[in-house]
Amino acid sequence: MNAQIINGIEIARLVRAEWKLRADRLIQLGVPPGLAVIIIGDNPASSIYVRNKVKACTEIGIYSEVHSFPEDVEQSEVLDCIQELNESSRVHGILVQLPLPAHFENNRIITSIAIEKDVDGFHFFNVGALVTGNAVFLPCTPYGVMTMLMRHHIPIEGQHVVVVGRSNIVGKPMAFMLLEQGATVTICTSKTRDLAQFTKNADILVVATGKARMITAEMVKPGAVVIDVGINRLTNGKLCGDVDYEAVKTIAGYITPVPGGVGPMTITMLLCNTILAAERAQAGIRMVATN
Ligand code: GUN
């Protein structure tokens, strides 16, 4: 039996069409949603991501501005830029493209973004809010995964979910979002001893390790939902995920392809978070720590 394919391109299209109506309303009110993207250095992958983000903003009616800095820029210059953006009424969301150059203090940068403009949801306040069930912004990639599960009416409560990967961007927020929805969550890493013993017990398996095709068919329970967050480039130039797609799709109940799975959802959820931030600003809702 072949798995049902979870088509990220199609779901992204539907979600964007719905949120475009919300963006249109803000535009009519004279408050077009605005996103500022900061990019430092010339990492080719980051440059492509940023270009795609700007294109997606334009398509949905979000104003965007890109602030590019050379690799050797002083951290203080970037902090000054973030401070200006925090105060700008034109900008509702701020995203600093990661990874940062080695001389940067990631935590200083992330925590300098205003909580109510942190559309990545990476600020420590927002991480704490998420973990305690008070999320201000859901981090874009796990938010995209949750949306895919919801659109397919895949039950989460009571299910055993195994998340492979413990990054701050995907693995950790993913685990807490699923926990919040009542799943029993196991967090593994690519180095977990006897990883298959865990993955074979997963009703839902989310993989975000960055290791090409590391999840093989023997590691998957028949009928499981398999979500592949990985995007790896093979030596032949082709893209593949962290899951051996061709083999696993004969075992799984549902599976996301790469490309065309989680990838298109990440940018979509960034657009949603930016529109949400603009709606809050327009309504005068402030998201600030009270002490
Ligand atoms: N680099 C890779 N993924 C992300 C992301 O979701 N947000 C940011 N800011 N940088 C990234």
Yes or no: say if 258 and 264 are a contact pair by the CB < 8 Å rule: no
Give pLDDT, residue 102: 96
Output helix, strand, coil percentages for the chain, rounded to the nearest 5.
Answer: 40, 15, 45
Interval 107-119 mean pLDDT: 98
Give pLDDT, residue 182: 98
pTM higher than 0.95 for the full model?
yes
Give pLDDT, residue 1: 74
Per-residue pLDDT tens for 190-216?
999 999 999 999 999 999 999 999 999
Give pLDDT, residue 287: 74
Task: Evaluate if residue 70 carries a pLDDT over 70.
Answer: yes
- Domain range list for the chain: 29-118, 140-264
Structure tokens at 218: 């023997």
Q: Comparing 29-118 with 140-264, is the CATH topology the same?
A: yes
Q: Locate the ligand 1 atom nearest the alpha carbon of residue 120 and give its number.
A: 7
Task: Say which DSSP state 187 is in.
Answer: E
Task: Say which DSSP state 92 is in.
Answer: S
Q: Locate the ligand 1 atom nearest the alpha carbon of residue 270 and give its number.
A: 6
Per-residue pLDDT tens for 131-175?
999 999 999 999 999 999 999 999 999 999 999 999 999 999 999
Quickly state the pLDDT bin for 288 (edges 50, 70, 90): low
Quickly state the pLDDT bin for 233 (edges 50, 70, 90): very high
Interval 86-100 mean pLDDT: 98
Q: How far is the CA of 169 from the centre of ligand 1 (A)?
A: 7
Pocket-forming residues, ligand 1, beta carbon under 6 Å: 95-98, 120, 140-141, 169
Give pLDDT, residue 289: 64
Mutating to test ligand 1, I would choose from 37, 46, 49, 82 the residue with most ligand atoms within 8 A of its C-beta, which is 49
CATH number of 29-118: 3.40.50.10860
Nearest residue (by CA) to ligand 1, atom 8, is 97
Q: Locate the ligand 1 atom nearest the alpha carbon of residue 99 and give its number.
A: 1
Give pLDDT, residue 27: 98
Quickly state the pLDDT bin for 41 (edges 50, 70, 90): very high
Interval 66-89 mean pLDDT: 98
DSSP string, 146-172: HHHHHHTT---TT-EEEEE---TTTHH
Distances (CA, A) of 145 to 157, 223, 269: 15, 18, 10
Q: Which of 129, 142, 125, 112 is nearest to 270 (CA)?
A: 142
Task: Evaluate if residue 225 carries a pLDDT over 60.
Answer: yes
Superfamily of domain 140-264: NAD(P)-binding Rossmann-like Domain (3.40.50.720)
